[in-house]
Each structure stands twice: as C-alpha cells, then as structure tokens.
Amino acid sequence: MISVFFDATQSRKFFLDMKRIILFGDSITQQGFDTGGWAARLASRYVRRADVLNRGFSGYNTAWARLALDHVFEDFKGHVGEVKFLSGTLVTLFLGANDSALLGRTSETQHVPLPQFQDNLAYIIKYLKDRGAQVIALAPPPVAEGKWSAFLTKRAGAATSIASSRENATTGLYAAAVERVAQAHNIPVVNLWSLFQKDRAWENYLSDGLHLSESGNRLLYTLLAACIEESLPAWAVVNRDGVDTCGAGMSLADVTSPLPLLLPLHGTLNEETSEIPKWA
C-alpha cells in the first residue's frame, strides 16, 4: 500500500509561483475550453509558462460579474491582508454580449443599460488593476440575427419564429463602449465586433449567431495572441520559425518567451543529472 501525503501549503505556494492568465467573462469564455476553443489554444500556447484558468459564467452580464468579483478572485490571495495578490496575473475581461440583450425579448433580464455597462466595466477594470493584474479587454463579437433567431426557435420547439434577442447594431454600441472604457484605463482592447466584420463571410465565425464556431474561436485566439505580443511583450510567446505556438507538433525547443519554462526540457537531461532546477 502506498501512502500519499498532500501538503496543501506547499501546493498553494507552487500554484501562486506560476504566472496566471485568468479568463473572466460569459458563455463565450465558459465554452473556451471546448474542442478547438480559444481558451484551449491559449493554454497550449502557454503550457509550462502560465496557468490558463477559465472563469467564464454563462449568461452573466457586467452587473452580475461586478457582484461576483470577490468570489472569483479572492482565492488567489497568498495570505490574509495581501493587496497586490493578482501581481503576475493577466486577466482577459470579455463581457457585453449579454448586457446588450434587447428589452422586450427573451433575454431581457440580462440587459444592462449602456451607461451602467460602462460604469460596471470601469469598476471591474479598476478592481483588477488595484490588485496588481494586467488586463486585456475583449469586446463582444457581432450577432447574426437570423441565425440566432433560428437557434432560439429550434431550442424552444416553437411553431413560429422567435425574434432574435440581440441586434447587431446594438451590440456594436456596447463593443464601442468597451473600446472607450479600455482606452480610458490605458489597457489593450480587441474589438471583435469590428474585426470579425472585416470578413464578408463573418457569420461563419458564429456557431449559432451569438457564440463562436471553430473558425471564430481560432480567429479570436489569433487576435488575442497578437494583441498580447504587441501590447504586453513581457507575456509574449514566439516561435522562432514563425509557426503558431499552439497545438500538436509544437516543440517547446523552438519557442522563445520572457516567461520562464517550468522545469528544463528533457533533452537537456541525462543519466548524470543529479538536480533539476524549477525554472528553465
């Protein structure tokens, strides 16, 4: 019989030593670790360099996210009273798809008026920055109204068409607000509403008219990785050959980054190795 002793204190210290990327948002974030998802791709990119943690909450708007901040982030404190407990943490803030729900439609309880939405975003950004985090804002993608209406109708088993609970133009106003608030707080922003629609076939980036398809997840990942590399070089992960640092066949020997690698590559070890450093 093998006895295993788990030292929670040492485990927590190890966890807090690692750089962290916390993905905070709604269902588009929650679904990010699905097969081909943008979060899964990001985790592959940062393997052994940073823990990518999913804190996406389906259906949430900025009002509910604001109320949940302590529940989501207080666990990252190393000790009671620590203030900058999110130092060494990058947070993606991805909200707005639910705030922009239309009044009088099926999702009206999620609606947050635009001025309140902006105030909530500003509050959340300040909360995170005050605790030492670096933040990247993601503005919601466009809405394919016909596709979303068809999805709602099919899901409800309705005999007649259910009107879309989102309008693309309205979502665009919320996306623009994300960009304004991010710029006011001097943080990077990726405006998916604008960037997706540069492609005439942008509806293909959406699986049901609101959430991302595999190609939409791939594009979001690509845009986010480029934003990190340009705006936050201390978090950059770059393949020397210019090949995307994600997925099968990726060799960590071909990747460069200011972020240290957890444990040395096995190719540097041999039968004479007597000690292994934590970071390489």
Arithmetic mean of pLDDT, 174-199:
98
pLDDT digits (tens, 9 = 90+) for 81-134: 788 999 999 999 999 999 999 999 999 999 999 999 999 999 999 999 999 999
Coil vs helix vs strand at 8 = helix
pTM (two decimals): 0.91
pLDDT of residue 127: 98
* 181 has pLDDT over 70: yes
* 216 has pLDDT over 50: yes
Structure tokens at 129: 């920055």
pLDDT of residue 151: 85
- Can 58 be counted among the known catalytic residues? no
Confidence of residue 144 (pLDDT cuts 50, 70, 90): very high
How much is the mean pLDDT over the chain? 90
pLDDT of residue 6: 41
Q: Which of 3, 11, 27, 213 is catalytic?
A: 27
Nearest Cα neighbor of 114 from 105, 124, 101, 126 is 101
* 72 has pLDDT over 60: yes
Confidence of residue 17 (pLDDT cuts 50, 70, 90): confident
Nearest Cα neighbor of 78 from 88, 69, 92, 68 is 88
SS (H, E, C) 40-65: HHHHHHCCCCEEEEEEECCCCCHHHH
Question: Do 209 and 150 touch, CB atoms closer than 8 A?
Answer: yes
Q: What is the DSSP letter of 279?
A: B
pLDDT of residue 96: 98
* 191 has pLDDT over 70: yes
Q: What is the β-pairing status of strands 238-239 and 189-191? A: unpaired
pLDDT of residue 7: 47
